[in-house]
Amino acid sequence: MDWIQYRLTNKIGVMMLTSLFIFLNLFSFAQITPEIITLSKDPSAVIRMNKFYIEDVEDKRKIKGALLGKIVMLGKEKPAALATPADKELNSYWSNAAPKRNEKLLPVTVTIKDLQLIERRLGPNRVAGDIKLEVTFRWHRNMTPVELTNYQTSATYTRPEKEYDQAKLIKQMLDQALVHFQKWMTTNAGKNPALARNLKIVFNEINSTDKADTVFYSVKRPLIWSDFQGHKNRPGSRYAAAVFTSFAYEGHSYPKDDDLILEINLKIFMVKSMSWALADAKNAGTLRHEQLHFDVTRIVVERFKKRLEEADLTIEDYDSEIQYQFLEAFREMNTEQEAYDSATGHGLNNAAQAEWDRKISKEITSIYSRQ
């Protein structure tokens, strides 16, 4: 029992000595004062930017704070650091080159992925060095980060073991990063959707002449009986005529200046092969009733357009909102058509038909008077 206790005591003693040794080494390393590399802010030494300003700089390096790596001084390796933490130091340096905060310019956040300087002694009076820089550029649009571009560079050098201006080399890389981004902005302005700051909707209404089985809506081209080319005798149908109307949209986007233009082509149409009329029902009153069905579809599309113009569409996700509003408009169209037929008795109630004619005609006139 005494022997076992003795061995345990010795093991504990060894562990304590080992821990003390590690602590002393860490304490000793912590006492080494890093060599401070100062980045002068001389305005004449940097290139002036004019398309963006630096909103923020964040440090995502593996090493944190002001530490850069190590340099060789007087034959010994020594920690090297910036005067302040890297994010603050580079923010201060780059902000001296880019314009001040301005709502007309792009607010850019720069992320430092890598920035390190490592030197090693090759031999008497010879030092080798490696320096790396990697940054990414982005901005926040509607609180959503938009990645723009990245810049990565490195350099290897040898030097005599005497005073050396490491700060000059670092500044050259930092300047090159901003020059790269300025060129990228110039090249992509008005071409890259990532730089678009606003979303603008442009509506185009397709109203070309008749094509095959389709008649596109046009106030200048009302329906005629020859448009009704479907089977005249519909089994089980108790109506004299029917018109099949509907609408669809096609959209595409493209950047222009600071905007993303969303062009929506609207197709409001009737299908000839699905529209029909009995021979003895082809009179002006019945045709007018069917024309108003077409007009109702046109009115619903105008409401669809208005809701999109008033919707809070974002560049990041406008498509889902458009599809939602389209489905809502489609349901509205079916509801309106049923209400129209119900109120007019499918055109047999002359008084109600006249009232709907006045109401629908007024809305159609209002739509095209604004265009």
- In the chain, where does DSSP find H-type helix? 2-30, 86-95, 166-188, 284-310, 319-344, 350-369
* DSSP state letter for 99: P
- Name the one residue in this structure whose structure tokens are 């600071």: 258
- Burial of 166 by CB count in 10 Å (0-12 exposed, 13-18 middle, 19+ buried)? buried
Q: What string of pLDDT tens digits covers the 371 residues of the chain?
A: 333 333 333 443 444 444 444 333 434 444 578 999 998 876 555 566 778 999 999 999 998 899 999 999 888 899 999 999 999 999 999 988 878 888 889 999 999 999 999 999 998 889 999 999 999 999 999 889 999 999 999 999 999 988 788 999 999 999 999 999 999 999 999 999 999 999 999 999 988 765 689 999 999 999 999 999 997 655 556 788 999 999 999 999 999 999 999 999 999 999 999 999 999 999 999 999 999 999 999 999 999 999 999 998 999 889 999 999 999 999 999 999 999 999 999 999 999 999 999 999 999 999 998 77
pTM above 0.85, yes or no: no
Domain ranges of the chain: 33-192, 196-369
User: What number of other Cβ atoms are within 10 A of residue 132's Cβ?
Assistant: 17
For 260, the token pair is 């993303």
Plot region of 185 (φ>0 → left; ψ -120 to 50 → alpha; else → beta): alpha
d(CA 326, CA 248): 8
**Shortest CA distance to 127 belongs to which of 83, 80, 173, 65?**
80
